[in-house]
Structures are given as C-alpha cells and as structure tokens.
C-alpha cells in the first residue's frame, strides 16, 4: 500500500527550562506515510489539528516516523504549552501554513474576510485515502491540466482542514505514484461559511525541510535564451522566482529544485518542484532563523484575489514533487517519464511527430500560395513530411502590425484559397499545418472595430501596446466562443493536421470590461483558465490535429501546456550552439519528446553564427525535428544532406522519444563541448551525441565516459565497429574525435 494512516498515542515529558519540571503528557496524532517508488513522505495531524511535516526523502521501511516530530522539546508542545504557542507556530515544520497566527515564515494561505481580517487557522478535521487520482476542477469554467493516473498507478490522500473563523475548508490533496518517485499536491477550497471570503493567497504546496544545506536550481532567461540553468547555495532569507506577466514567461520557468551541495548528474539528493500552470506563478525557498528551509509554490499571490462566496469552490493547480537519491539526472528522468506517461495526451503521445518545414524564418510575412508550394515541393522531394504556414495568412496581415483576431484567409496572399493550398500540399504527400495567435487582437483589425471592449483594459487608462497588439479578455466566454468559432471555420475548411498556437505579448492594464469590481483581480487566473478552456475544446473536437504551443519562442514551456500539446516551441533561438544551453536547461524538467527543435539557416538569424549543417541536425534531433529555412535557396551541399538527416531522425526518434536521457557534458561548466545520451529502457541500444563548441590544439580526441548502459552487456559501436562491454564504455569511456569549431558527431551503440 502506498499511503498509510495510523493513529498514534505518544507520551512526552514536557521539558520546561524555567522550572526543570518533567511533566508527562500524552499526544494523540494521526500519522500519514506516503510511499512512492523509492520515496517516503510523512506528515502528521497533531491533536491540536495542526498539520506537521515529518519527513520527505529516500524510502524508509519504518512504519512510524513520528519520533521525528519534536514534541516535548521546548517549545514544540502546543497541547500543554500555550504560553509558548507563538514560538511553536514560528518554528514547527508545517504542511500548509496560514498567515496571521504566529508563523512569520512565508505562508501558503491568506484570506481577507468581510471585516477586513486576514488571519486564518486551518486545522485538520478529517481525511480519506483512495486509489487513483482525482481531476482538478474549477466549477463552471474548466478542468485544470494535471497529471493523471488510474487506480493501479497511484493512491491519493485528501486531508480536510477548516478555518473555524471564516468557515473556509481547505482540502489538501496528495497523490503518490506507485512506480515513479512522484508525489503531486493541490488544494481545493470550499467556502462553508456564511459570508464571502477573499482568497489572497493559495499555494499549491509547502514543505519545511529540516536543513538549509542545499543548492537552489532555477531555469531562467529571456527571449531567445529561455530556461538557462542557474545553481547557487541557499542563503539566509528568501530566494525565489515568479512570473507577473500573465504567462509562465521567458524569464523564469515554474520549476525549482533543492539539491544537496554534492549533487551532480549521477549522485546526491535532488528535490524538484514544478507547477502545472501557465500563468503567474510563485516559487520560493526561505532559509529561516534556525537554518531550516521552507519551500512554497503556487499561483502568484501578487495582484491576485479571488472572491469565494458561500458554497463556492476554488481549485488551485497541481504542484509536482520529484525526489531523487541518485542525482539531478535521475530527477530529470523521473519528470520525463511522468510527463510522457501521465501528462501528455492525444494521438501523438506515443508517436513520432511528422518532420515539418516551417516558413517563418524562410519568408517571414513575405509569402503567397506559390512560394509555399515551391517550398513544399522541394521539401517533399527531400523527405520532409509537413508544411507549416506560419504567421501572415489571415486578415490583411503583411507585417506584425495588424489583423490578429481576424481569423479568415487573406485571399490576395493565399491565392486560390486555403483549401487549394492544402490540397496541393497534400498532393505532394505532405501534411499541412497552420499558425494561430488566438489570444490576441490588433488595434487594426475588424474584430477590434467591432469589439474594442474585448481587449484586456482599464477604462480611462491608455492601453499599452506590445508588438502592436492587445490581449483578448479570455475570462469572457463570449470572446472565447467567438475566437474558437472562427478557428473552427478555418479548421473545417481544409485538411489541417497541425496547429502552432502562439502567444506573443504579456498582459498589461489587467482589467476586464465584464467582471465586477470585486472580481477584477481574478482576471490573471481567469485568463489562464479561459485559455485552457479553448485548448480543451480544440483538442476534444480535433483529436487528430497535432497541437504545438509557442509563446514568442519558449515563454510558455510549462507542464500546463503539455497537457494540451505534446510539443512546445523551445525558443526562437535556433542557433545550434545557443540551443545547447537552452535544451540542456529545458531537459532538467521536460522531456526531449516535447521540445520543438528545427534546423535553420546560417548565418543564424538571432545570433549571426554559422555552424555546420550536420551540427544543426544533431542538435535539432533531440526534439521534434524539423526545418525552418527556405529549402529552395539554401546551399546545395546543405540541401543534399537533408534526406540522410531525415532518415537518421526517423531511425533514432523512437529511442530519443521514449528512452532515458543522460546529460554527460555541460556547456555551462565547460565552454568547449557538450554531450548527451539516450538509452533504451531495456538498455538494448543507445545514442551518443557530442558537440564540440570550440576546437583546441591538443583536443583532437577526448575520452568520454558513457552512462546508463548495462555494464555486463556487450555493445557494438557504430563509429568503430568494435565491441566493448557496457562496463568499459562507462568506466573507461570512448575516444571521441571531431575537428573544428561547432562540429559534432553521433555514435550509436547496439547490444549484441
């Protein structure tokens, strides 16, 4: 059984340093022990109803970890030591701390009632344990994205707590996965009181670690530099990341990890936390006065408020927690397995994605039917399987200054109409994909002329433009219905098999023309729920369409989006060398099967660097492979390499998509090279990729140790034709020889 509940009665002697008295008291508590594969997580509902955190880490066989609770140690004695309740509140490790009752560390929960009071005190009242995993439902709006598991795969504990003063009930939901080191958490609030309550803050999880001896890992960046991994030792006080932009953002990804100081890819402890959410988030580690660490993660409370009327429900998104006792690499592989098996859905979940050619970097806005057909013609001859028509096919859009919201075909550009174009592409044996930016509205659009009130805005304030566009108010169902209706017409008009859903600006003047004043601060979250609603309709009505998310590159590369789209455009930076860092950072939490990666033209449009075509291919292969160039105009030598590249991708994609990823090199630490491997789950084959960033005179060949193989098996190397044991390949290594800057090689290993 993976979740166990015990009633425990313990005797403690109450240490009172003032009197030295040894008074004995008994404490009855409920101890909950969750086991997920090799992980144990324990918490206790004390007699007082406080929920204490007991343990999180490597699997422990012992049934009873209640000795870890420091009851009896002054001042951890809520039952008998009322005079020190304040100290108890500020020092006890808690599961879901509230604001205003003596715990001055970062709270998980805060309200404001009709009297303007913000303190609250959630205490245990009941619990239930059951097999499987519940959905997270925000009534009347949408089911939130979340990992899923059936009755044989996971078990769930729901602990119901109540704040007597306000009548708010908080159900803390924990799910432990049987075969993965994963525990998920979320919170459901119900207003059981008689008066409305404002929810000012509702984190999805909180944990109090008993130590501060960890490094803090985050994935940060900016446009074209997303999810660059950063690692630094925890220090006293608060360190954290967030988004206030209305999306998960280029700047910070909703992922953090705490790892032991000695942790590397292969050893040490790692705790990873990822929020399954695509809007404003908050994630923080706080080292407190006694050198303990509190971690919290959830929707960003900044500028957030949610009015909960009596009887209403609020569902907080899911936080995923992964524990690894075998380093950061193992933590990543657990996230990858979880997301590939229990988050990503749809027909392409376990399928190779079509090799696409996207016309964005090839033509930008300067294309028409003939140009697209000429690209498709050449591409089809080279083995490319799908043409994606990017931005510029609708309204009267010839640059980024118009037409968003006018989702009808720009007939003078798409001459002959969309169906004609799609049919022509299909005749070449290729699929057809199309770009939308459904959340946006251009001031220069028919939609804006008709419905200026549909843009997010504060009446009487100037509206800030970004890329000459505004954001639609997706909290308004009428807006969602209208946009989705237009998209449907397009999708029903031709054989469209792929959609790129883009989002190219962040939110400003966050106000809605339809929400009442006391619900305006809900807009940040209602916007995200509205986006989920439309994605939900789209994936339900068009299960055959492959959806790829995108946000000005990779500003919404998050687990929320993966629930709808099995792949996400990783970054607008398509330079192979820049991508080493971006893809390395992304792989810390997200699987290769989800990373949109294309071979693009040189000099690279973002950084101006020229790299060999082969290297661009090797780097793009670690994702959903495709091309982003004018295939009719690139150098002939490069073009001639495409058929072989396509075959190589087809050959290795099953392994890359489903295998275990091992990071070997680290461009963050060594500018000279990077390397990684994918190993089949049954260890029968492996693919090794090496990229030399800069050549060095005496670095003609490097000895590199492989990872993840079966030490006792023999493997045939595609580079040398020689056979070596897994043990030799992993302990002694292979000699890798490439020459020149930005060069690369791939080597496959087959078990014989």
Residues forming the site for ligand DGJ (CB under 6 A): 360, 390-391, 435, 502, 504, 550, 552-553, 569, 572
* β-sheet bridge partners, residue 190: 169, 313
Closer residue to ligand DGJ in complex, CB, 530/553? 553
**Residue 458 and residue 466 in contact, taking contact as beta carbons nearer than 8 Å:** no
Would residue 481 show up in a list of annotated catalytic residues for this protein?
A: no
Closer residue to ligand DGJ in complex, CB, 574/587? 574
* β-sheet bridge partners, residue 270: 259, 324
Least distance CB 364 / ligand DGJ (angstroms): 8
Closer residue to ligand DGJ in complex, CB, 177/435? 435
CA distance 565 to 558: 10
**Residue 380 and residue 429 in contact, taking contact as beta carbons nearer than 8 Å:** yes
Least distance CB 396 / ligand DGJ (angstroms): 15
* β-sheet bridge partners, residue 674: 691
Least distance CB 361 / ligand DGJ (angstroms): 8
Nearest to 460 by CA among 402, 508, 509: 509
| Phi, psi for residue 71 in degrees, rounded to 5 | -65, 145
In this structure, the strands spanning 567-569 and 595-600 are parallel
- To which residue do tokens 């929400």 refer? 515
| Phi, psi for residue 289 in degrees, rounded to 5 | -55, -35
| Phi, psi for residue 13 in degrees, rounded to 5 | -95, 135
Closer residue to ligand DGJ in complex, CB, 568/641? 568
Least distance CB 638 / ligand DGJ (angstroms): 21
Closer residue to ligand DGJ in complex, CB, 224/276? 224
CA distance 580 to 590: 15
Cis peptide before 436 (omega within 30 of 0): no
Least distance CB 12 / ligand DGJ (angstroms): 60
| Phi, psi for residue 203 in degrees, rounded to 5 | -75, 155
The alpha carbon of 165 is separated from its chain's Cα centroid by a whole number of angstroms, namely: 36
* β-sheet bridge partners, residue 84: none
Closer residue to ligand DGJ in complex, CB, 251/750? 251
Closer residue to ligand DGJ in complex, CB, 550/687? 550
**Structural tokens at position 194:** 């008689």
Closer residue to ligand DGJ in complex, CB, 198/551? 551
Residue 671 gets which letter from DSSP?
T
- C-alpha dihedral (256, 558, 457, 403), degrees to nearest 10: 150
- Cβ count near 564 (within 10 Å): 22
Least distance CB 552 / ligand DGJ (angstroms): 5
Per-residue H/E/C for 141-177: CEEECCCCCCCCCEEEEEEEEEECCCCEEEEEEEEEE
* β-sheet bridge partners, residue 41: 34, 56
State the first-to-last Cα distance of the chain, in angstroms, to the nearest integer: 39
Closer residue to ligand DGJ in complex, CB, 268/552? 552
**Structural tokens at position 259:** 């790892």
Closer residue to ligand DGJ in complex, CB, 277/435? 435
**Residue 594 and residue 344 in contact, taking contact as beta carbons nearer than 8 Å:** yes
CA distance 489 to 152: 41
Least distance CB 688 / ligand DGJ (angstroms): 30
Closer residue to ligand DGJ in complex, CB, 273/569? 569
Least distance CB 577 / ligand DGJ (angstroms): 19
Closer residue to ligand DGJ in complex, CB, 95/502? 502
Question: By beta-carbon distance, which residue lies closest to ligand DGJ?
Answer: 391
**Structural tokens at position 6:** 């015990």
Helix axes 369-382, 417-427, angle to 10 degrees: 20
| Phi, psi for residue 733 in degrees, rounded to 5 | 100, -175
Compute the chain's Rg from CA coordinates: 27
Closer residue to ligand DGJ in complex, CB, 121/572? 572
Would residue 558 show up in a list of annotated catalytic residues for this protein?
A: no
Which one of the listed residues 103, 212, 572, 638 is annotated catalytic? 572
SS3 content of the chain, % helix, strand, coil (to 5): 20, 35, 45
Which one of the listed residues 502, 573, 575, 630 is annotated catalytic? 502
**Structural tokens at position 110:** 């805060």
Least distance CB 550 / ligand DGJ (angstroms): 5
CA distance 614 to 599: 9
Least distance CB 365 / ligand DGJ (angstroms): 8
Helix axes 636-658, 369-382, angle to 10 degrees: 70
Least distance CB 240 / ligand DGJ (angstroms): 27
Least distance CB 624 / ligand DGJ (angstroms): 14
**Structural tokens at position 292:** 């303990």
CA distance 102 to 513: 40
In this structure, the strands spanning 743-751 and 660-663 are unpaired
Nearest to 655 by CA among 557, 545, 547, 747: 747
Query: CA angle at residue 743 from 738 to 749, to 5 degrees?
Result: 60
DSSP string, 486-501: HHHHHHHHTT--EEEE
Least distance CB 575 / ligand DGJ (angstroms): 14
The total number of residues shown for the chain amounts to 752
Nearest to 578 by CA among 678, 646, 674, 504: 674
**Structural tokens at position 565:** 């789209």
Looking at the annotation, which residues are catalytic? 502, 572
């Amino acid at each position: 059984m993976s979740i166990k509940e015990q009633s425990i009665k313990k005797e403690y002697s109450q240490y009172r340093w003032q009197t030295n008295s040894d008074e004995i008291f008994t404490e009855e508590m409920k101890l909950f022990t969750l086991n997920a594969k090799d992980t144990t997580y324990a918490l206790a509902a004390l007699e007082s109803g406080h929920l204490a955190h007991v343990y999180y880490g490597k699997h422990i066989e012992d049934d009873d970890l209640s000795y870890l609770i420091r009851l009896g140690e002054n001042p951890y004695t809520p039952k008998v030591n009322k005079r020190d309740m304040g100290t108890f509140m500020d020092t006890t490790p808690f599961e879901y701390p509230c604001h205003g009752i003596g715990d001055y560390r970062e709270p998980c929960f805060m309200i404001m009632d009709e009297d303007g009071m913000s303190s609250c005190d959630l205490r245990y009242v009941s619990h239930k344990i059951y097999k499987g995993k519940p959905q997270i439902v925000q009534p009347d709006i949408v089911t939130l994205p979340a990992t899923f598991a059936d009755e044989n795969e996971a078990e769930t504990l729901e602990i119901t707590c109540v704040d007597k003063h306000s009548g708010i009930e908080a159900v803390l939901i924990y799910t432990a996965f049987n075969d993965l080191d994963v525990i998920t958490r979320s919170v459901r609030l119900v207003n059981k009181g008689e008066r409305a309550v404002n929810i000012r803050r509702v984190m999805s999880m909180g944990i109090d670690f008993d130590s501060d001896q960890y490094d803090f890992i985050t994935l940060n960046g900016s446009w074209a530099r997303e999810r660059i991994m950063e690692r630094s030792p925890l220090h006293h006080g608060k360190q954290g990341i967030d988004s206030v932009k209305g999306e998960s953002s280029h700047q910070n990804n909703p992922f953090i990890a705490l790892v032991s100081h000695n942790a590397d890819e292969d050893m040490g402890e790692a705790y990873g936390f990822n929020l399954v959410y695509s809007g404003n988030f908050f994630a923080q580690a706080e080292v407190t006065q006694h050198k303990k660490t509190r971690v919290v993660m959830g929707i960003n409370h900044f500028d957030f408020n949610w009015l909960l009327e009596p009887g209403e429900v609020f569902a907080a998104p899911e936080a995923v927690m992964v524990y690894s006792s075998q380093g950061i690499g193992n933590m990543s592989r657990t996230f990858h397995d979880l997301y590939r098996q229990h988050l990503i859905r749809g027909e392409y979940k376990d399928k190779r994605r079509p090799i696409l050619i996207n016309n964005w970097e090839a033509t930008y806005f300067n294309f028409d039917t003939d140009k697209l057909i000429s690209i498709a013609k050449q591409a089809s001859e080279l083995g490319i399987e799908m043409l994606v028509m990017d931005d510029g096919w609708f309204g009267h859009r010839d640059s980024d200054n118009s037409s968003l919201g006018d989702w009808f075909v720009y007939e003078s550009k798409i001459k002959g109409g969309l169906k004609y174009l799609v049919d022509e592409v299909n005749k070449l044996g290729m699929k057809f994909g199309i770009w939308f930016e459904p959340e946006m509205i251009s001031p220069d659009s028919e939609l804006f002329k008709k419905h200026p009130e549909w843009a997010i805005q504060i009446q009487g304030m100037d509206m800030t433009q970004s890329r000459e566009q505004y954001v639609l108010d997706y909290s308004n169902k009428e807006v969602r219905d209208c946009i989705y209706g237009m998209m449907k017409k397009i999708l029903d008009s031709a054989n469209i098999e792929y959609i790129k859903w883009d989002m190219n600006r962040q939110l400003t003047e966050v106000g809605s023309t339809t929400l009442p004043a006391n619900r305006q601060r809900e807009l940040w979250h209602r916007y995200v729920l509205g986006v989920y609603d439309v994605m939900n309709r789209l994936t339900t009505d068009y299960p055959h369409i492959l959806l790829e998310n995108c946000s000005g590159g990779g500003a919404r590369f998050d687990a929320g989006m993966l629930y709808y789209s099995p792949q996400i455009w990783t970054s607008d930076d398509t330079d192979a060398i820049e991508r080493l860092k971006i893809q390395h950072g992304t792989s810390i939490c997200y699987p290769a099967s989800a990373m949109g990666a294309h071979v693009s033209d040189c000099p690279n449009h973002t950084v101006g660097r020229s790299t060999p075509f082969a290297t661009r291919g090797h780097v793009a292969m670690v994702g959903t492979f495709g091309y982003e160039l004018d295939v009719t105009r690139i150098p002939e030598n490069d073009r001639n390499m495409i058929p072989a590249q396509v075959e190589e991708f087809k050959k290795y994609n099953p392994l890359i998509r489903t295998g275990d990823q091992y990071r070997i090199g680290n461009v963050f630490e060594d500018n000279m090279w990077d390397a990684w491997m994918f190993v089949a789950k049954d260890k029968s084959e492996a693919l090794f990729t090496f990229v030399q960033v800069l050549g060095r005179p005496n670095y003609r060949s490097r000895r590199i140790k492989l990872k993840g193989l079966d030490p006792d098996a023999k493997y045939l190397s595609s580079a040398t034709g020689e056979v070596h044991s897994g043990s030799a390949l992993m302990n002694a290594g292979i000699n890798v020889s490439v020459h020149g800057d930005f060069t690369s090689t791939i080597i496959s290993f087959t078990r014989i």
